[in-house]
Structure 1
Amino acid sequence: MSIKPSGEGLSALKWVKSSYSTNDGPECIEVAHTPGTVLVRDSKRPEGARLAVGPDAWNGFVAHAAA
């Protein structure tokens, strides 16, 4: 599910840039955790759409990516 930024609280999110992202490369993502949701966005387009997934789905993705 992709969501546009809106509503209170989204501006106060603490975004963390992936350690695999580079400053000059196209693969730059940031992640923010909220209760029950993990948000992912393109660091080059912070006001753009965000992907929202549940913690279990995120943990599964991270485990798969690390394998």
Structure 2
Amino acid sequence: MTAPTLIWQKSTFSQEQGDCVELAATAAGAVLIRESDEPGVVLSTTPSALARFLQAIKHGAAAT
């Protein structure tokens, strides 16, 4: 049996030349995050943890 192919989505803030953040969702419900220049390095998180992280960034909490 082969592993399912992940569909990576590039951030709308990414540029064509690189520096891209890409996300993919797994069948098990995890969210995978990678940087396009290092596609072999993948972080895994949950949708709720990612949402909390993004909210912290929007509110400036992640900068401290």
TM-score, structure 2 length as denominator?
Answer: 0.70
* Structure 1 unaligned spans of 5+: 1-6
Identity value in percent: 37
Residue number in structure 1 paired with 2:52: 60
Match of 1:8 among 3, 7, 14: 3
| Structure 1 residue ranges (4+ consecutive) displaced by more than 3 angstroms after TM superposition | none
Q: How many residues align?
A: 57
String of CA shifts for 1:10-62, please: whole Å, max 9, x gaps. xx11100001111225x31100012321000111232x110001111111122
Structure of greater relative contact order (alpha carbons < 8 Å, 6+ residues apart):
1
Q: State the AA in 2 paired with 1:39.
A: L
Residue number in structure 1 paired with 2:31: 38
TM-score, structure 1 length as denominator?
Answer: 0.68
